[in-house]
Amino acid sequence: PVFDLLSSRVYVSTEEGEILAVDPINGSVVGPSFSVGQRITSAPTIADGKLLVATNDAAIFGFDLNSGAALPWSPIVIGGSVEGDTTVANSILYVASADGFLYGIDINDGSRAFYAKVDEGTLLTAPIIAPDGSILIATNTQKLIAYAPADDRAPKWVAEVGFLVSKSTPVIVGDAEEWTAYVPATQPPSTGVITAISSKGELQWKAEVPGRIETAAAIGGGRIFVSTDNQDAMAFEIGAPVHRDL
């Protein structure tokens, strides 16, 4: 789900192809809601008064939040289904697709602003934007890849994560000068791994935890929090692979 500050509504997508507007206080469904007629497994994104969503049927839809009308360019068909969430930066919607491409769509006119062949494998995680504007995407072929926003010809760097990257999206700590991406992953059959990659694509540290990590990490109070399928929650100190059981 995604929260819209202007309307104070939560927008939730369903596998039946609906995007519902929900009152966060009482949980009631309020209008307008939206329908795309295609299966959705990713959360919608809100930017510049627009609601945007990508589907499992390889399409991107956009709606005007005020009127509820579809945007003139909607829908756009891309080369593969979308299972992970999407990201907007500077009016560009970044979408990772099952065809191994990372798409950037201008949400104002629907034109393609970014198009990169990222990986031979299916992309399951959401693209994320680093503090310096870099676009990061984790792959299920054990890589974290960074692109400059104005250059889709070749990545800035490729970091080997070394373990299977699940649908868990990396999180970032730092500023435009220096930042670190923390990548949650799983080493089959049942070991979780947190990998810290610097803004230059260099490995900073790696730590293992018992159990598979299949959700995104969270950050707060100088720590990184992860949960595992063993029903454990753990916290890592930022900057060092020292964890505390919660």
pLDDT in tens, 144-203: 999 998 888 899 999 998 887 877 788 999 999 999 999 988 888 888 888 999 999 999
Task: Give every residue of the chain whose pLDDT is below 50, as ranges.
Answer: 243-246
Which residue in the block uniquely carries the two structure tokens 């990590």? 213
Residue 121's alpha-carbon distances to 99, 141, 144, in angstroms, are 7, 6, 13
d(CA 32, CA 60) in angstroms, rounded, equals: 19
Are 45 and 87 within 8 A, CB to CB?
yes
**Can you give the pTM of this predicted structure?**
0.90
